[in-house]
Structure 1
Amino acid sequence: MHERVLIIGAGIGGLCAALALAPTGRDIVILERDPAPPRGGADNAFTDWTRRGVGHLRHSHAFLARLRTIIRNEHPELHADLLAAGCRELGFERMLTDLHRQAYRPQAADRDFVVLTSRRTTLELVIRRYVERYPNVRIDSETFVRKLLTQHDPQGLRVVGASVADADGARDIIGDLVIDASGRTSSCVEQLVEEGAAIPEESESAGIVYFTRHYRLLAGAQEPQRTKAGGTGDLGFLKFGLFPADNGCFSITLCTPEPEMELRKAIVRPEVFDAICARLPGLAPWVDPAVAEGVSRVFGMGELHSRWRQVAGEGIAPLLGYFPVGDALVRTNPLYGRGCSFAAITAYALRDVIVSTGDAADRIQAFQARINDDLRPYYLNMRDQDRAAIRRARQQLTPGYRPSLRSRLIKSFLEDGVNIAIRSDADLLREALRGFHMLEHPSAWLKRPDNLAKVLRYWFTRRDQKADAYPPKPGPGRTEMFQSLGLAADVDMIQA
């Protein structure tokens, strides 16, 4: 069937939709509100590309193994383009501890546990230029979608195109399918609901605020060696992560719970951001002025919410010809690094549905069923972890709080059992990574009797006998950190 597909948005979600559908031969028009990327390479894109529609453009990004595998298998030339542009592949061996290495034996599966990482602007630039090489794909930049074109027919509300505005004025574009990849700020759903569509939604706060700064290694400087402290950590009042990127660049992201108002106000100053990093053993070697220099301001991102939308299902009237992907459909906490992978999985699920049937009602039902199967377990897992983190953040700011016996047992099982087992046993690390990389249900590995038995053995082992498996303290406590930064550690407690 020859169809015309309109894709709203040329971000990662829209580009993944084009990657999935272009090889099927359909005519694809991508409607993008922002300007095309500047001429030149990755550095030009990072400094000069204006992307008002992508608020998280200059935050840390990585493609988990499932997305990297999709690119490698479906588009080997794109995979080569990304590597040629300086994108990095971080493999399984990078995650091994000294304990793992004592008995580590490589396995074929290890080749699949690879993270593809770089600056988001580099990823998007390379993918966009690859997509533009398809003769059946056109990207209309600086084209604003004013509204969807709809009509009511006996089957239900049908989307038949989009009304757009560009430098030449307003016009209507007709399409057989409209894919909404316009991100978390998409207005399409609101319009459809106003016209009578039923699109149930659940949403709640992720409970954190995000801050990112970019750095570049100095000429002649080498990347610091991975230390036992590691490049990620959770201090309760602060989470942090290090993201190696392309062409000698890297980024650091710091996350604070929403109630930490004093820290949030201070952390946007580059000198405070750097001072925090210098007090974290896993980050300090990277921000050493003799090794790297900051090359950006501190980018903040708040109002982070998880969101799950249903566009079909029992009791929901059919919505025809419209398919939201990426953040327009499911929005996740960026702390888990799953946003781009969710977008790609959604896009390829849509491809499979579209090529399998031409019936509009069957398509939307099958699409939602695939999303429920492929993404719902990860969404629920993330939501539960976010709820627990929000509770812990509030408890930390509550004077005199004492956790219950149940809370202490859960904390001990995770810290003295699960984490120690994963840091000690390479086979358990592989098992856990399958969930992390979205290769299977996120909790499946721990439900297997053999794996659970191993974890329980580590949990019941005396602490002094597994001392080498504990990571060093990731950083100072809240009071010490606040005092070193000249912040009042008790202000947020009073407000909370």
Structure 2
Amino acid sequence: MDQPILIIGAGMAGLFTALALGSRGHAVTVLERDPPPPDGGADAAFADWSRRGVGHLRHSHAFLARLRSILIERHPALHQRLLAAGCQELSFASGLSPRSAARYKPEPGDADLTVLTSRRTTLELVLRQYVAELPTVTLRSGVNVAGVAGAVTDGVFVCEGLKLDDGEVLQGIVVDAGGRSSQAFDWLDEAGIKAPEESEDAGILYYTRHYRLRPGMEPPERGAIPGAGDLGFIKYGVFPADNGCFSITLAVPEIEETLRLAVMRPETFDALCTQMPGVAGWIDPARSEAVSKVFGMGDLKSRWRDMAPGGRPLALNLFPIGDGLVRTNPLYGRGCSFAAVSGELVAETLTGQADPSARATAFAARVRSELGPYFEDMRSQDRAAIRRARNALNPSYRPGFKARAMKSFTDDGIAIALRRDPALLREFMRGFHMLEDSRAWLKRPANAVKVLGAWATPRGLKKDWYPPRLGPGRADMLAAVGIDPAADPRRLGFA
């Protein structure tokens, strides 16, 4: 294929697509509206890089095993650069509780479950520098795309290139990696092409603060209480990063209006963290210091757009990817992995198919096959979490039989089985890390038997495998940090 390829956006999706195409020898031009990163390395990028198009740039990130596997298999030199820049790798074994670790027997495939961690700015900086060095890739910053060039023929938009706001027109196949602010679907609308869309709120907001370990200090040792968990009214997670840095994210249901307004205050954010034993040790002033304000992120939606409904493409030579095409709740950190996978799918499609219509149809089918199960899984979990958050604020709520049974199956069956059987947890984590369908592990008869066995075991015989208390209840925690726990129930008419 000798057609030039134009990529809108130099975020994760754009850079991973440029990496996939450029490493295969395709001529690629990446057009980014934001300025390039400042000089000064990882810390300067975190402090000063202006990325208007990436609202979540300074939120917590962990890069799943699927993304890491793409780097190791196809771009080992880039993987080594990331490690040299201070990115960390967290193994499957390192995430086990002390009790589970005592039962753990290593297997060769465990290395495939390793997580890559760093500040988002560090990974993006190193990735961008590496991509810019590829001989067939040109990266242009400060460029605003005004629209797509092309026309509708027989009900299908045939893309010919891009129009820039300075009047320049570039010819080529277009990959839209413009992220959440992508205009590609608006441009298609203007041409009379409407892509079917599924969209709904994730029901949660994110709040992140960054810290750095003091000189000579190490992270707390892994204990029985994990550094990530769900208290029902708040989810929390500690994210180790590069060069002694780490971040903490608190995820608050939208319905908890009073809490989510208060958590933006740094003193309230830290006070909440000190209430949770799995987090408190990280922000001990003797161990670390805060190095940022609290960053908020809202407008979180699950969204799926279909570029080939019923197998009929809506556009030729135009490939939307990333958050503009598929978005999920960031809770499981799948966005960057979606970006890396999508980049590989674009490259494989353009390399393997010559006909534009066949390319469009094949790409849409591959996206549905590769990403669809994780989208559906996350959306189902979001719906359940939204219901739980509302019920938690209603003192008169009483769960029905089905709700009680499902909670028991999850808490007394699945969770117990995963905690006491590292081999089962290994299979679960393969789905978590997008190495297979996230629901596949429980469909295997041997695994289902283990879960049902754990569920049927009397509570007294499995009491040591229940998790320790992750933190105070809602009323106690909110009162401890100066928040009225009855404010939202009153607002909703529950109290």
- TM-score interval (norm. to shorter): over 0.9
Q: Percent identity?
A: 53
How far did 1:16 drift? 0.6
Q: Does 1:411 align with 2:407?
A: yes
What CA distance in whole angstroms lies between the structure 1 residues aligned with 2:210 and 2:302?
26
How far did 1:460 drift? 1.2
Q: What does residue range 161-240 of structure 1 map to in structure 2 within 5 Å?
A: 161-165=161-165, 169-175=166-172, 177-240=173-236
Q: Secondary structure at the match of 2:168?
A: strand
In the comparison of the two structures, how many residue pairs are matched? 492
How far did 1:155 drift? 7.5
CA contact (8 A) 2:32 2:141 kept: yes
Q: CA RMSD in A?
A: 1.1
Structure 1 length-normalised TM: 0.97
Greater CA deviation, 438-447 or 120-129?
Answer: 438-447
CA contact (8 A) 1:242 1:251 kept: yes
For 1:97-127, what per-residue CA distance to the aligned partner results, in whole angstroms no more than 9, with x for missing partners? 2332333221001010011010000000000
What CA distance in whole angstroms lies between the structure 1 residues aligned with 2:353 and 2:162?
23
Q: What does residue range 333-344 of structure 1 map to in structure 2 within 5 Å?
A: 333-344=329-340
Residue 61 of structure 1: aligned partner: 61
Residue 18 of structure 1: aligned partner: 18
What CA distance in whole angstroms lies between the structure 2 residues aligned with 1:288 and 1:103?
31
Residue 87 of structure 1: aligned partner: 87
Aligned match for 2:277, one of 269, 273, 281: 281
How far did 1:317 drift? 4.9
CA contact (8 A) 1:7 1:181 kept: yes
How far did 1:316 drift? 4.3
Q: What does residue range 115-130 of structure 1 map to in structure 2 within 5 Å?
A: 115-130=115-130
Q: One-letter code of the match for 1:380? A: E
What CA distance in whole angstroms lies between the structure 1 residues aligned with 2:454 and 2:153?
62
Q: One-letter code of the match for 1:446? A: L
Q: One-letter code of the match for 1:439? A: L
CA contact (8 A) 1:197 1:317 kept: no
Q: Does 1:476 align with 2:472?
A: yes
Q: Secondary structure at the match of 2:52?
A: coil
For 1:430-476, what per-residue CA distance to the aligned partner results, in whole angstroms no more than 9, with x for missing partners? 11011101111111111111101111111111212212211211111
> Is the alpha carbon distance of 1:405 and 1:141 closer, same or farther for their aligned partners in structure 2, counting shifts above 3 Å?
same
Q: Does 1:71 align with 2:71?
A: yes
CA contact (8 A) 2:393 2:488 kept: yes
What CA distance in whole angstroms lies between the structure 1 residues aligned with 2:468 and 2:385?
21
What CA distance in whole angstroms lies between the structure 2 residues aligned with 1:383 and 1:348?
24
Runs of 4+ that moved beyond 4 A: none
Q: Secondary structure at the match of 1:100?
A: helix
What CA distance in whole angstroms lies between the structure 1 residues aligned with 2:388 and 2:397?
10
For 1:112-162, what per-residue CA distance to the aligned partner results, in whole angstroms no more than 9, with x for missing partners? 001101000000000000001111111110101111112233582111111
Residue 138 of structure 1: aligned partner: 138
Q: Is there any run of 5+ residues in structure 2 with no aligned partner, and where?
A: none
For 1:290-322, what per-residue CA distance to the aligned partner results, in whole angstroms no more than 9, with x for missing partners? 110100000000110010000013174531010
Q: Secondary structure at the match of 2:229?
A: strand
What CA distance in whole angstroms lies between the structure 1 residues aligned with 2:103 and 2:147?
60
CA contact (8 A) 1:16 1:344 kept: yes
What CA distance in whole angstroms lies between the structure 2 residues aligned with 1:17 and 1:104?
38
